Structure formats: structure tokens, C-alpha cells
Amino acid sequence: MKTFIRPQIINGIEYYYEIIPYYDPEKKTVRQKSKYLGKNQWRDKKGQRKKVKEVLSYGELFQL
């Protein structure tokens, strides 16, 4: 049984959940636990992709 990520739309906002299947010996079946990961920050309520305003690059980082 492998974990997977499921998107779910609630009130027009897309949220991500990690689904973890496991075997329940009491009921003798496979069940699922879910873990909240966060909301999709790249889409708005209408489902349109947000535009990135600015991307800054400071170059490579070297430790001395």
C-alpha cells in the first residue's frame, strides 16, 4: 500500500491531503488516514493560475 496525494476543492479553493492506507485487523479491511498538507497557492478561487510578481535570484551560496 502506497501513500498518495489527493487534491480536494472546498468552496472553490484547492487543498492537498496525503492519503495513507493501512490494514485494519479488527475489521479485516484496508482503511485510509489523511494528513493535511496545505492549500494550492498557485490558483485562485476561479481556478485561474496566479501570476508570479517577482522572482529574485541571489546567486549561489558558498560557505567559507
Kindly state the cell numbers that stand for 2. 502506497
d(CA 62, CA 64): 6
Question: pLDDT (tens digit, 9 = 90+) per residue, 8-21?
Answer: 888 877 889 999 99
d(CA 45, CA 27): 40
pLDDT band at 31 (very low <50, low <70, confident <90, very high): very high
Question: pLDDT (tens digit, 9 = 90+) per residue, 38-57?
Answer: 887 666 666 666 666 666 66
Residues 6+ apart with CB under 8 A from 46: 12
Please name every residue paired with 49 in a beta bridge, in sequence order, or none if there are none. Answer: 43
**What are the CA-CA distances from residue 34 to residues 7, 8, 13, 19 (Å)?**
12, 12, 18, 5
